[in-house]
Amino acid sequence: MTKLLFTPTTFVGMDLRNRIVYPPITTGLAEPDGKVSDRMVEFYRQRAAGGVGLIILEPGVVHQQAKLAKFSAGAWADDQIPGMTRLAKTIQNEGARVFLQLCHAGPKAHPRINGVPPSSASDKPFFFKMPTVALSQIEIKSVVNDFTLASARAREAGFDGVELHAAHFYLLSAFLSPVINHRTDAYGGDNQGRARIIREIVIAIKQMVGKDFPVTVRFHGYEEGAQGLKPCDAIEIAQIFAEAGADGLHVSAYGVPIPELVGIASVASSPIPAKEHPQAPFVDYAANVKRAINLPVIAVGKITDPEIAEQSLQEGKCDLVAVGRAILVDPQWPNKIAAGKKVIRCVGCLDCINSLAKGELVCRVNRELVRVCPS
């Protein structure tokens, strides 16, 4: 039974037709200048038409030199707004709601793509020995401004809200995590200091873009390693976001604490559970935050079994479930599950993320993944 999964709900003040979210998954389908392409519109139209309640769009990058991938979508310039408007409308016309994820790649911004060394909370590289620049306080103010202006563009384009990407060791996550943030000023140190930049961004968006424009934050409920964020840190950090005015939380994680898998870097040190992992390995991190904080929570991470999705909702572990690769592979996943039909299954091979690093999203199961979209 998947009764609750398909019961309409209200999330951060907006109506959703069900409790299924398609989380941000970079497609590499944007134009080289970050504008929305026809292929991108068709790719997301198909997923909206598949019945999902909310799509959190892949990152709109907030600065031209902060791209995650060569063909990242952009939210750094006003001439990107018309394409974003077309995309948001197309998704909404299919009955789904749409948020734009906002991201600065920070220590993961490769100089080959961005033409400058990566910047971060401190000079500790994310990539092995990559020279990395610690942002000054003046540069931090400028990053806050970039996120705020990008939110204003998202609002103008008709998005239902924005999600700040503060997970997966991109810039905001690099500030949050003691693994990478070694600063000794007001933007480092304890959870309050490491969360400061995000707090300032949330406050600035609410002041400049509007209190009624929803802002959610995606962050880690757990990080692998002795220095990584622990569930108790996640609660403190979530409380800081709530007090700043955030409307909702999206709890991802980095690394799956299964002793026999720790040390296998490509499998364990990732926010993307592989075929070796059990179902929903991060859902209890979402539940940990949900229990402590009075904000709606999205859970994510290998939730491909609808019964487990339903159970997580029934048990109050989260308010919405994000279903990523399963919907990437089969855009009709929500409609098919609702109708009791068979879906095309993600096998957890990670070809998608590995191929994206080379520039194109490839799926072992659905070879037509991006080819079905007009180029």
Nearer to ligand FMN, 166 or 183 (CB): 166
How many C-beta atoms lie closer than 10 Å to residue 13's C-beta?
13
Which residue is nearest to ligand FMN, using beta carbons? 324
CA dihedral in degrees (330, 332, 334, 338; nearest 10)?
-120
Taking CB under 6 A as the rule, does residue 320 contact ligand FMN?
no
Under DSSP, the state recorded for 102 is E
Nearer to ligand FMN, 148 or 270 (CB): 270
Nearer to ligand FMN, 19 or 183 (CB): 19
Options 60, 74, 178, 301; binder of ligand FMN; rule CB under 6 A: 301
Taking CB under 6 A as the rule, does residue 37 contact ligand FMN?
no
Options 218, 220, 290, 317; binder of ligand FMN; rule CB under 6 A: 218
- Only one of the segments 43-51, 77-85, 105-113, 320-328 lies at the binding site for ligand FMN (rule: CB under 6 A); that segment is 320-328
Options 87, 154, 309, 352; binder of ligand FMN; rule CB under 6 A: 352
User: DSSP strand E in the chain: where?
Assistant: 9-11, 14-16, 20-22, 54-61, 73-74, 97-103, 119-120, 133-134, 161-166, 215-223, 248-254, 297-299, 320-322
Under DSSP, the state recorded for 239 is H
Structure tokens at 187: 């933007």
Phi then psi for residue 206, to 5 deg, are -65, -40
Nearer to ligand FMN, 113 or 353 (CB): 353
Taking CB under 6 A as the rule, does residue 206 contact ligand FMN?
no
Residues annotated as part of the active site: 170
Taking CB under 6 A as the rule, does residue 271 contact ligand FMN?
yes
> Using CA atoms, how far apart are residues 332 and 168, in angstroms rounded to an integer?
27
How many C-beta atoms lie closer than 10 Å to residue 243's C-beta?
11
CB of 232 to ligand FMN, least distance (A): 22
Taking CB under 6 A as the rule, does residue 300 contact ligand FMN?
yes
CB of 29 to ligand FMN, least distance (A): 12
Sign of CA dihedral 130, 136, 137, 141: negative
- The binding site for ligand FMN (CB under 6 A) comprises 23-26, 58-59, 101, 165, 167-168, 218, 252, 271-273, 300-303, 323-325, 352-353, 356
